[in-house]
Amino acid sequence: MLSQEQTETLFKVLDESTTTLQSALSTSYLDAFIETGDNLLNGQVQVEDGRPEAKVVQQLTDLYQQVDWQTYDAETVRRAVQLAMLKAIRVDDIQANHQLTPDTIAYIMGYLVTRLEKNKQHLTLLDLTVGTGNLLTAVISQLKAVVAGKIDAYGVDNDDTMLAIAQTSSDLQRLPVDLIHQDALEQLLVPASDLIVADLPIGYYPIDENAANYQTHAANGHSFVHHLLLEQAVNQLTDGGIGVFLVPSQLFQTDEAHGMLKWLPGHAYLQGLLNLPSELFANANAQKAILILQKPGAGAKQVEQVMLGEFPSFKNQSAFQKFVAEIVQWEEQNLLTDRA
């Protein structure tokens, strides 16, 4: 059971201690957050070269004693960390591709995959663009309720600060996650995965010689990083494995989509593309969708009826719940039988 009060208590401690350390160490909010997370996990305030000074150490110690975070469940902790990351976006002016996946979207993606992985005895899960870990840990928490056996979870990112936050967040939640610092478009240092989730960054990938290894690369100039990552994800899936991705709604309608549309039929089944409510986005060009791809093999096949549609407004709860029920029914009729 989620406790809003516990979430607010933990966020208050995380935020006040982070702000205190930010000032004492003359650092960014994000770096100060990592430091305060380490303090909580180690059970004491770390001092290096006399910083922070004794007065600040006492302030922090008093703050940490206000919260018994070890007794909180993973979701309560994750939500408190998310609130701190939302503040960091504002304070540190974090670029869009490094911002966390909103809870509403993380829950929808998580709910979709719980239907697909129910009662699995063992599951290998990967987030190719893990960032602060909000999407991955939200999905793990939902999967833990339905997966019968062990979940081996991995996250990849080329930003060491983001990975440090993901490590702090997963440690505070007591969720074992292996985090790997690497370019997700180089040879991956993780095992093949039954399930991949990712909130794909949008933009151009700067290393053309790496991009040349992918069939989805652009004919001229830099390639779209989200096209390359989709191909890499499918390469990384086990036979019959499923990828659930947050992508631009216009994914298949841009001039650059030609290479991806050519690659797709021989390598992955396009099983679903569900637009998120337009109200979540500043304009139509920014709208995103949930893309479901499945790797051939292990009995998987192209569904006769690809799941296409747009989620109703979250404000219209009855219409939204009806739409989700339709997705679940479609999954059970089309995808679950193939993965039995």
Task: Give per-residue pLDDT as tens, 151-184.
Answer: 999 999 999 999 999 999 999 999 999 999 999 9
pLDDT at 340: 43
**Gap between the Cα atoms of 271 and 264, Å rounded:** 12
φ, ψ (nearest 5 deg) of residue 15: -70, -45
- pLDDT of residue 339 exceeding 80: no
The residue whose two tokens read 């966020």 is 11
**Distance, CA of 163 to CA of 260 (rounded, Å):** 29
In DSSP terms, which residues pair with 149 in a beta bridge? none
63-68-74-76 Cα dihedral, nearest 10 degrees: -70
Q: Whole-angstrom Cα distance, residue 309 to residue 252?
A: 15
Enumerate residues 6+ apart whose C-beta is below 8 A from 334. 271, 303, 304, 305, 307
- Tell me the backbone φ, ψ of residue 183, rounded to 5 degrees: -70, 120
pLDDT of res. 336: 60
Is residue 112 over pLDDT 50? yes
**Confidence (pTM):** 0.93
- Dig out the tokens for 164 from the structure: 């440090």
Within 10 A of 73 (CB to CB), how many other CB atoms are there? 14
